[in-house]
Amino acid sequence: MNTSSLPRIAVLATGGTIAGQAGDASKTAGYKAGVVGVDKLLDAVPALASVASIHAEQVASIDSKDMSLALWSALAARVETLLKQDDIDGVVITHGTDTLEETAYFLHLTVKSEKPVVLTAAMRPSTALSADGPLNLLNAVTVAASKNAAGQGVLVAFNNQIHSARDVTKTSTYAVDAFRSPEVGVLGFVQDGRVEFQRSVTKPHTTASEFAIAEKWPSVEIVASYADASRVMVDALVAAGVKGIVVAGTGNGSMHANITQALSDAVKQGVSVVRASRVGSGHVMHNGAASDDALGTISAGTLNPYKARVLLLLALAANKKDLQRVFDTY
């Protein structure tokens, strides 16, 4: 049992710019991500001591552009083990911003716990003037320590906002307010110790999710459609034996005729194909810009291509046959 009167929060560090280091405090772009250890990140935030009692672990030290399925699986397993302990009330994961939305969605669908799981990150390295990591970390721990965060699925606390893992996406290469939840908006806010939720997540996640970490992952890749796109990429992926392809279509998941033909051929060879959009917001409607029923494709709804890939990976690993139901549900 946790004997402190404060909530006990596990902080799992994976690297990223929040743990980045530059030779000079004026540098916010030229730095090395994932080099500063979790103890140092925590030391930079003395105010944590009045919010939670912290258990810290260094799970990885990577630039999140190099995130892998093996690390996702290990991270999900570790989070679940910690949350099963009576003396842990919530988990915070420090992560790079580049693939944060993919990791968050993966955990949202695989971690079986009602306890809060909150990811955070930073756009400026820890050594920068006005580094954003320390306040983001304090806010993430504050959210994880809040009873209101329980049962909301995996959350992202960033720049005083609380986002759902399902909806959040990185929208800027440099701005400190880089994360947005297009169309649906934030779940709430965290500021000066106050956590306020203004809406909750309705789609199933965590304990209500039918997905789990797999022993073996299918190969699922993403291709884009654009002016003058050829079928070369799709044909190469099919020849390489991929099990799933997500297409980042133009507009409402529309595709160049060459890509459409190549994907139709891929479906006939048993490849599962999901139509998403490269636009960054909005729905991809079933039988909208392309006839999914005629092509045998699945429409991604509001999932962006990277999140659609996460869901397709999980669904194929679980041997789901009703993929459109899966995409309509999650």
Q: Rounded to the nearest 5 degrees, what angle is found at the Cα of 180, between the Cα atoms of 130 and 318? A: 120
Closest CA to 164 of 142, 146, 176, 149: 149
Q: Where are the beta strands (DSSP E) in 108-215?
A: 117-120, 154-158, 161-164, 169-170, 179-180, 188-191, 194-197
**Can residue 120 be called a binding residue for ligand ASP (CB under 6 A)?**
no
Name the 3-class secondary structure at 22.
coil
Name the segment binding ligand ASP (CB under 6 A); options: 44-52, 57-65, 138-146, 302-310: 57-65
**Can residue 139 be called a binding residue for ligand ASP (CB under 6 A)?**
no
Q: How many Cβ atoms sit within 10 Å of the Cβ of residue 327? A: 23
Q: Residue 120: beta bridge partners? A: 94
**Can residue 63 be called a binding residue for ligand ASP (CB under 6 A)?**
yes
At residue 180, φ and ψ (nearest 5 deg) are -140, 160
Question: Of residues 28, 94, 97, 260, which one binds ligand ASP by CB under 6 A?
Answer: 97
**Can residue 102 be called a binding residue for ligand ASP (CB under 6 A)?**
no
**Can residue 80 be called a binding residue for ligand ASP (CB under 6 A)?**
no
Between residue 162 and residue 191, which ones bind ligand ASP under the rule CB under 6 A?
none
Of these residues, 14, 17, 169, 260, which one is catalytic? 17
Question: Of residues 7, 90, 96, 244, which one binds ligand ASP by CB under 6 A?
Answer: 96
Residues 264/247, Cβ–Cβ less than 8 Å: no
Least Å from the CB of residue 74 to ligand ASP: 17
**Can residue 142 be called a binding residue for ligand ASP (CB under 6 A)?**
no
Specify the residue for token string 């790079």: 96
Name the 3-class secondary structure at 104.
helix
Residues 249/275, Cβ–Cβ less than 8 Å: yes
Measured from the CB atom, the residue of 179 and 327 that comes closer to ligand ASP is 179
Measured from the CB atom, the residue of 28 and 113 that comes closer to ligand ASP is 28
**Can residue 121 be called a binding residue for ligand ASP (CB under 6 A)?**
yes
Q: Is 142 considered catalytic here?
A: no
**Can residue 64 be called a binding residue for ligand ASP (CB under 6 A)?**
yes
The residues binding ligand ASP (CB under 6 A) are 15-17, 33, 63-65, 96-98, 121, 123
Question: Could you list the active site residues?
Answer: 17
